[in-house]
């Protein structure tokens, strides 16, 4: 496998060599990062199918009435504000959903920063189909690019540390695959995708499991660990320093330090001393993330990057190329 790394220039650069891993260098001076793991076509199809069934269940009455079937158009996806792009697969598949002959040209790469006024993509096809597809594509790409942009801010604030920014399950129902892909476009990483993917014992689980008897913690966790297959990850949340050693003794893979102060995070990292992955959670925002990263934790989970974003302002400008409206 060949890896191509581009040099830093005034604009973000991305190699596009077939069969290679793309590596992106941002003008901010942050380290180059591997392009995001692609968004599965099946996920794109499921989301678009549901979205268009909701938005145009019997077709787009306005476009069918006003726009001649033979009219074609070119549309430009333009940024009204700065951001980080995510959603190329949505642009390509979204406009082809109603017109298989539509052509979409992506003008920025996934994860690439853009300025206000930038043209992000250009689409040519049947005018009726472009107008029908417009709102669904915009809704999704606006949200995905907002997530990527916010994630990139968190990643930039942890530069120079080993901490990874990861998402949570606090996602929009039905859009989890798209939103977690957007996190990857912003340079973040993904936590477990669903409840079925890993064991994560949190405070309520532990309360039921131990019956409130802290002395049982190691035993019950070790017994649970022994029932799991060797590939299944086991994470346990703690909210007090004194829980760390009993949890470590059970042989878990990750310990989540929940709502710890910076001093307690440093103490927790020192106690764990490489015997498990250390995740910090709770109280994470743009003002606190740098200090949390500096404590030496391995992972910082941030629910805000998916549940608190404000969609970016993107617009679609359409120009009719040919075909005349029927005055009748």
The answer to the question of whether 54 is labelled as a binding residue is: no
End-to-end CA distance of the chain: 60
Of 60, 112, 167, 237, which is the active-site residue?
A: 237
Distance CA 205, CA 194 (A): 17
The answer to the question of whether 211 is labelled as a binding residue is: no
Torsion of the alpha carbons at 189, 193, 199 and 203, rounded to the nearest 10: 80
The answer to the question of whether 162 is labelled as a binding residue is: no
Of 177, 239, 253, 258, which is the active-site residue?
A: 258
The answer to the question of whether 192 is labelled as a binding residue is: yes
Catalytic residue flag (residue 202): yes
Of 46, 135, 153, 222, which is the active-site residue?
A: 135
The answer to the question of whether 49 is labelled as a binding residue is: no
Of 170, 216, 222, 266, which is the active-site residue?
A: 170
HSE value, Cβ hemisphere, 13 Å, CA-based, for 118: 17
Catalytic residue flag (residue 170): yes
Of 202, 222, 225, 266, which is the active-site residue?
A: 202
The answer to the question of whether 168 is labelled as a binding residue is: yes
The answer to the question of whether 174 is labelled as a binding residue is: no
The answer to the question of whether 169 is labelled as a binding residue is: yes
- DSSP label at 260? -
Instruction: Give the strand pairing for 103-106 and 119-126.
Output: antiparallel
Q: How many CB atoms lie within 10 A of CB 256?
A: 25
- In 189-242, alpha helices (H): 203-210, 217-227
Catalytic residue flag (residue 135): yes
The answer to the question of whether 135 is labelled as a binding residue is: yes
Binding site members for substrate: 135, 168-170, 192, 202, 237, 258, 281-283, 302-304
Which positions are annotated as active-site residues?
135, 170, 202, 237, 258
Binding site members: 135, 168-170, 192, 202, 237, 258, 281-283, 302-304
């Amino acid at each position: 496998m060949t890896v191509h790394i581009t040099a830093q220039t005034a604009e973000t650069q991305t190699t596009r060599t077939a069969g290679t891993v793309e590596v992106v260098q941002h003008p901010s001076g942050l380290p180059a990062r591997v392009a995001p793991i692609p968004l599965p076509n099946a996920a794109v199809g499921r989301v678009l199918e549901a979205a268009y069934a909701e938005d145009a269940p019997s077709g787009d009455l306005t476009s069918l009435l006003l726009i001649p079937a033979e009219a074609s158009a070119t549309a430009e996806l333009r940024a009204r504000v700065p951001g980080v792009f995510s959603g190329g697969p949505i642009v390509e598949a979204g406009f082809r959903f109603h017109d298989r002959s539509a052509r979409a040209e992506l003008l920025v790469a996934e994860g690439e920063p853009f300025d206000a006024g930038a043209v992000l993509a250009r689409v040519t096809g049947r005018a009726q189909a472009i107008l029908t597809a417009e709102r669904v594509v915009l809704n999704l790409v606006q949200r995905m690019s907002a997530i990527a942009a916010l994630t990139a801010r968190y990643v930039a604030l942890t530069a120079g540390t080993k901490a990874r920014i990861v998402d949570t399950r606090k996602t929009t129902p039905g859009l989890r695959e798209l939103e977690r892909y957007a996190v990857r476009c912003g340079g973040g990483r993904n936590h477990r995708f669903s409840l079925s993917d890993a064991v994560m014992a949190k405070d309520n689980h532990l309360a039921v499991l131990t019956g409130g008897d802290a002395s049982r913690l190691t035993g019950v966790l070790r017994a649970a660990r022994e029932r799991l297959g060797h590939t299944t990850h086991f994470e346990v949340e703690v909210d007090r320093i004194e829980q760390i050693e009993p949890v470590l003794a059970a042989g878990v893979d990750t310990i989540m330090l929940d709502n710890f102060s910076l001093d307690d995070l440093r103490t927790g990292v020192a106690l764990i001393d490489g015997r498990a992955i250390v995740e910090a959670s709770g109280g994470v925002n743009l003002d606190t993330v740098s200090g949390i990263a500096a404590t030496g934790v391995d992972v910082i989970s941030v629910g805000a990057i998916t549940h608190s974003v404000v969609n970016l302002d993107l617009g679609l400008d359409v120009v009719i190329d040919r075909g005349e409206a029927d005055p009748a």
